[in-house]
Structures are given as C-alpha cells and as structure tokens.
A = this chain, B = another copy of it.
Amino acid sequence: MPLSAYRQFEPALAYAAESTERTMDRLIPKGDAGEARVFEAMRYSSLGGGKRLRAFFVLASSTLFKVSPSSALRVASAIEFVHAYSLIHDDLPAMDDDDLRRGKPSCHRQFDEATAILAGDALQALAFEVLAHEATHGDSAVRAVLVAELAKAAGAQGMVGGQMLDLLAETQPDLSIGAITRLQRLKTGALISFSCTAGAILGKAAEPLRAALAAYAHDLGLAFQIVDDLLDVEGDPAELGKATRKDADAGKATFVSILGLERARSQATLLAQQAAAHLEPFGGPADLLKQAAKFVVTRRS
C-alpha cells in the first residue's frame, strides 16, 4: 500500500525505508567491470541500514500534493545518496575518524580510504544524475529546481559549510548557542529542509504551503540535532550502532554542554511541538509528519 494509506508513523517509516532502499538498489551501478569495487563501496555504505528519516520526509510531504510515488522515491533516493556520501566522508580519518557506522565497519575500514573517498564522490554525482533524469518528473523545470535546491543544501553554503564549522568547532569550546544553532542548521538542517520541501517542489505547491513545510523542517531539524547531542551523552552505543560521548570527550560545545540535559530536553520537545503546529494548513493528511516530529524527540537511536 502507498505511504498515504498508513496511519501510524513507525510502520510508515519502515515502509519508506524499505521502498526507498529498493529504489536505491536499482539506481546504484552493478556489474563486474574493473571499477566495480567503487560500486560495491557505494552499495555497502548506502544500503542496509539507517532510519531513512530523510526519505520518509520526501515521501510524506509528497503525499500532501498527490505526487506520484515513483517520483517521490527517486528524490528520496537522491537525498539518501547525499546523506550516505556525507557519512562516508565524515567518517574518514582526516575528519571524524570513526571506525563504526550503523553497527558495522565504516566504509574506509571495510574497503580503504581511497575507495571511500571515491564512493562518496560517486554517490554525490549519482544523486544529481537521478534528479535530472526524466523518470523523476515529467516537467524539466521541476527537475532543475530539485537539482538547484539539493546542490545548495549539500554545498559550501549548506551541509559542507556546516561540516567545516563543525571541524573548526573542535577548537572552540566556548561557542555560543547561536553559533551552534547556525552550524547545525547548515550541517544537518539544510538537507532535512530539502527533504521536507521536496514534495512541495514535486507537486508545484503554492508558496505558502512550501513555506509551511520549510518552517516545520526548520524547527524539526533543530530538535533532531539537540536529541543527537542528548543521545551522545545518554544513549546506548549498542542501540546507536556507534560510539557515544565523542563530543563530551573532545570537550566540544554542544546544545547539551551549554543548556544542560534538562533544558536541552525541554527545548527539543518545544521545538517538535512548534514544528507540528506549522502543519495546520494541511489538516489530517499531515498526521504522519506530525507524528514524525514526536518521534524525532523520543527516539533512542
């Protein structure tokens, strides 16, 4: 059944994850050519794991505008390719130096550093190839907007800029809450915003509706990150599939180090409620997205 038939968030998320993975699997090159090692690394790091929240946001926002599921799945896949590439590069020794990702060896541990760099590079290119392809939308103007918006969200003034700030933050334990908010808005918020507004772009929605989804994404993205910081302190490494207390041990400024556990938790809850409130114009059909806001602050991994 299509996502719009789901009433409960968790099965809807599972459906989004499974259907997006199937689409991603079809889109990653296959074969036994000499260069197949890079296909394998792309496959290893982008399939078989992850909550697929970004994919869910694309599919759920698409149901609001009667977008064809096949279009939405391609856009969801493109975003998950960008997300996967960013994790591969973030895990590299020169960056966060993480050996574990989603409970298995990170890409450069499973393959090698060079292959990991290349797999990330190729996943980014694949995302744009998928968006630009006719199968993604019949109107080329829509495809061009999708490419432009994802490129902005992923680039130096979006995700990559946020990652740069994050690396520099390691030597700035006295970062202000405003600076951390901006960092996270770029590092994770930009891609989440694109995910939540993708349905509106695909459905050629009126500007106020697109703006409502952007406002939802803005508050939800920040709530998501605060909870990430909470999980880094309070989470269970086994459930998370990665090491915890990395930020605290590095003496890095986070929402939790500045606000404390209690205030960080209540701030996340408040933001999630605010996020859901932005969805009022959509009424009942936005129920899944409202539930997602709740999930983001109650998740344990």
Contact check, B117 vs A161: say whether CB atoms are below 8 A apart.
no
- Kindly state the separation between the CA atoms of A95 and B108 in the bound complex, as whole angstroms: 13
- Category for how many chain A residues contact B: 35 or more
Contact check, B143 vs A42: say whether CB atoms are below 8 A apart.
no
Contact check, A117 vs B92: say whether CB atoms are below 8 A apart.
yes
Partner of A128 from the list B34, B151, B163 (CB cut-off 8 Å) is B151
Partner of A156 from the list B125, B132, B182 (CB cut-off 8 Å) is B125
The quantity of this chain's copies bound in the complex is 2
In residues 243-257 of chain A, which contact B (Cβ within 8 Å)? none
Please give me the residue from chain B that is nearest to A167 by CB atom.
B114
Interface check A165, CB cutoff 8 A: yes
Contact check, B121 vs A164: say whether CB atoms are below 8 A apart.
no
Proximity bits, A90-132, B CB within 8 Å = 1, else 0: 0010110000000000000000111101101110111011011
Interface check A29, CB cutoff 8 A: yes
Interface check A290, CB cutoff 8 A: no
Of the A-B pairs whose beta carbons lie under 8 Å apart in the complex, a sample of 7, sorted by A's number, is A34-B164, A35-B161, A115-B164, A122-B156, A122-B161, A129-B155, A132-B144
